[in-house]
Amino acid sequence: MGNAFSILLSILILILALSCHPTPVPSVTFTPTVRVETPQPGPSPSPVKLTPEAVLTPDPYVEKRKQMVESQIRARGVKDERVLAAMEKVPRHEFVPPEYLSQAYADHPLPIGYGQTISQPYIVAVMTELLRLKPGDKVLEIGTGSGYQAAILAEITDKVYTVEIIPELARSAEERLRRLGYTQVKVKNADGYYGWEEYAPYDAIIVTCAPDHVPRPLIRQLKDGGRLVIPVGPPGGYQSLWLIEKHGEEIKSRNVMGVLFVPMLGEH
């Protein structure tokens, strides 16, 4: 019985081994197919998400400038829309030293080095309004300082000339104005008491430092019908802001208000 079983087992193993013998594999040729991807209609890839701040306020000082114009300038009676628009546009924070950044739009002047100051926004606006500038007018500024007043003028007309007596301030203001795109402003390092003869006569002249008398060369460099806005007073004291208008040989002057400017430097 045991013997018969082992014979049967051997036969079974033999049958199994024969059935597992590898059979030749038929050869298959693959024809590669190329799939061309065609764009499918549907939603395009989602755009890069910007933060709400980046979308709404590319310049973080836009709101501060609006507030400055409304509360310090319009509310106090400045009406010239060109002046208000310029004050709202020029980035004053670019004209103050980094340590005063948080006060850039405050209601007072700020130091700019070399014992000089950038004027209070309201005073800049009042003086600019008194010039009655129109696009195309030629305007001369004496006392470039930071270049802020020159940038305000450049928002209204493309013919702006400005003279600064301190070489370092003249150089840095020129660089700043170029960087900010006010490329039409011409800056000269000289004593502004003598104006800028080369481009005279001017429709308007603004002086942002205070001499103790009105410099004659500035009156001479005014066009007929031209306006000169200038603080005049003793060095170290308060001054009067004057609006001087030239009509032929006649000079009309009006004392507008009391102001406090740095003195005009130089020997006169």
Q: What is the CA radius of gyration of the chain?
A: 39
Q: Look up residue 34 and give its amino acid.
A: V
State the minimum distance, in angstroms, from the CB of residue 171 to ligand SAH.
12
SS (H, E, C) 43-55: CCCCCCCCCHHHH
Kind plus residue range of the DSSP H or E element containing 174:
helix 167-179
State the minimum distance, in angstroms, from the CB of residue 124 to ligand SAH.
7
User: Smallest Cα–Cα separation from 228: which of 87, 133, 147?
Assistant: 133
Contact of 146 with 121, CB cutoff 8 Å: no
Tell me whether residue 192 or residue 226 sits nearer to ligand SAH (CB atom): 192
State the minimum distance, in angstroms, from the CB of residue 161 to ligand SAH.
12
Burial of 155 (0-12, 13-18, 19+ CB in 10 A): buried
Binding residues for ligand SAH (CB under 6 A): 116-119, 142-143, 145-146, 148-149, 163-166, 169, 191-193, 208-209, 262, 264-266
10 belongs to the catalytic site: no
Tell me whether residue 121 or residue 226 sits nearer to ligand SAH (CB atom): 121
Distance CA 268, CA 191 (A): 10
Tell me whether residue 18 or residue 259 sits nearer to ligand SAH (CB atom): 259
Which residue of the set 27, 119, 146, 253 is catalytic? Answer: 119
State the minimum distance, in angstroms, from the CB of residue 224 to ligand SAH.
25
How far, in Å, are 67, 69, 128 from residue 62 at the CA level? 9, 11, 21
Distance CA 131, CA 208 (A): 13
User: Looking at 12-84, which runs of residues are DSSP E strands?
Assistant: none
State the minimum distance, in angstroms, from the CB of residue 46 to ligand SAH.
46
Q: Give 215's strand partners.
A: none
State the minimum distance, in angstroms, from the CB of residue 211 to ligand SAH.
8
Contact of 153 with 139, CB cutoff 8 Å: yes
Distance CA 19, CA 16 (A): 5
Active-site residue set: 119
